[in-house]
Structures are given as structure tokens and as C-alpha cells.
Amino acid sequence: MRFIFACLLASMSFAALAQQAGDTTVPLPKPRPAELSAEPAVKLPRHRPAATPDKPAPKPPAADPIGPPLPPGEHVAEPAEPTARIYQTACPAVLLGKVEAKALPPIEEKQCGTQSPLSVTGVLANGRMVPVAGGVETDCGIASALPDWIESIDSYLMARDNTRIAEVVVGTSYMCRNVNNGSTGNLSFHAFADALDVVGFKLEDGRFVTVDGGWRDALSPEGRLLRFAHDSACAHFTTVLGPEANAEHHDHLHVDLGCHGKTCTARLCE
């Protein structure tokens, strides 16, 4: 028994010594196939799409300013260009109610005209508005001088003849012409709406006193009235021309606000 155990032990030691003497390399295990050795890739979750801002609600289509299409052959008129602003001056006599008037567009006629003309239809005299026949085209200067002049004539009539002016009758107001209607020479003050030709006065007692018919007889009631009107005008206007000035003024009293003298303070009263 011991012999057998010794033989087994000897054979095992011999086999081990033989193996160490014959082959010193320890065999390694075979490599795994590539498809098995590669570790499977871990799939990452897909990226979220970038947040997009809320789109504004679509605006309703704008109304077509032109409107529906026109029938064939018709055309839309081109819009008019804006007009330039007109700068005019207000007249204090109108604002204060001393004259009844409305503003007119600027007058531009060759070298004649004025920027702020008025159509005067009445003047205040002794608390009432006295009509001006037909209205006159004049400027603020003449319109401002008229009330006091007409009031002085109206007061004369009340004191002397116990009547009043019913209407002032005017011939020429604005007119683009030369002095005395000449073909040459200076422009008249009528050309600048700065002059009036007063033909006469209608009275409340029914009379119509005209310069042409009443001036000749200086002692008659009509002659006295017209001469008073002439002389009173010299206190309110810088130029007054009547029948005694020249033949051109035989039928009216011309009044204007022309400049006379170096300082424009002189008056021409004829």
C-alpha cells in the first residue's frame, strides 16, 4: 500500500518535472472574435429641438386704400399735392366789430395786389352798422379809417338835417391801374387796395346825395354836406381829392393812405 502511494507520488513529480523541462511557455486562451470583443456602444438620447419663439398671430390684411378694381377704361385720379399755406394779417377793426367784412384771398395781378384784402360791407357809425353799397375790396388801413369818418358825417346829418346815412355808395375800390387811369406813370393806390372813390350817400330821408350832382351849389344842403364830408376826410386819410382837385375827380371823393413827405406825416387835401 505504501508502495503504491509512493509510486503515484513519484509519477506525479516526474510528470511535473518533465513538463517543466519540455515546455516552459504557459499557453494563453484564444482571443475572442472582434465582433464579440467590442463592447456595444451605448446610444445616447436624441437632443431636444431648440425652443422656437411663439410666432405672432398673422395680421389681418390691410384694407385696400384704392378699393376694388375699376372697370376697364376708368382711371383713379392722382392725389392732389398739398397747397402752400397762405399767411395773412388779421385786421383789428374787423376783430373789434368796427367794420363788417370778410377776408379775401391774396390779390396778385401783375405789379398790383395785396396780401390781406377785405370785402367791407358795413361800417359802425353812432351805434349802428351802416351798409356800404355792393361791398368794397380794400385793405385793413382803409377799413380802419372808414368808421370814424362815416360817423362824423352821420353826426353832421343828425345835427343839421335830422336824418342819418342809410348807405355809403362807393365807386372804385381795388383796381390795377395807374394814377388817373394814365397809360404811363405811377401805379395808383387803388392798385394796392389802399384807396376808395366815394360817389355819394343815400340818406334815411330818401335823398341820394351825389358828388356829381350836389357839389356845384356850395350853399345848398347837399353842397354843404359834401364839403363837410370832404374836409372831414382830410382828418382821417392822408390823401383826399375832390372835384376841385382836377377834372378826373369831378364825380367822387378819392381817399387813400398814401405816404407824403419825408416822414409820411404830410397830408394832401384838395
Instruction: State the pLDDT at residue 126.
Output: 97
Instruction: State the pLDDT at residue 81.
Output: 75
Containing structural domain, residue 174: 92-269
Indicate whether 140 belongs to any domain: yes
Indicate whether 3 belongs to any domain: no
Instruction: State the pLDDT at residue 61.
Output: 62
Indicate whether 39 belongs to any domain: no
Indicate whether 235 belongs to any domain: yes
Q: Residue 225, Cα to own-chain centre: how many angstroms?
A: 48
Indicate whether 37 belongs to any domain: no
Torsion sign across C-alpha atoms 201, 207, 210, 215: negative
| pLDDT tens-digit profile, the chain (270 residues) | 555 555 555 555 544 444 454 454 556 666 665 554 455 555 666 766 666 656 666 666 665 555 666 666 666 667 677 777 888 999 999 999 999 999 999 999 989 999 999 999 999 999 999 999 977 999 999 999 999 999 999 999 999 999 999 999 999 999 999 887 777 778 999 999 999 999 999 999 999 999 999 999 999 999 999 999 999 999 999 999 999 999 999 999 999 999 999 999 899 999
Is residue 210 within a helix (H) or strand (E), and if so which, with residue range? strand 208-210
- The dihedrals phi and psi of 102, each to the nearest 5 degrees, come to -130, 150
Instruction: State the pLDDT at residue 183.
Output: 75
Give me the number of domains the chain comprises.
1
Indicate whether 223 belongs to any domain: yes
Indicate whether 216 belongs to any domain: yes
Q: Are 231 and 241 in contact (CB under 8 A)?
A: no
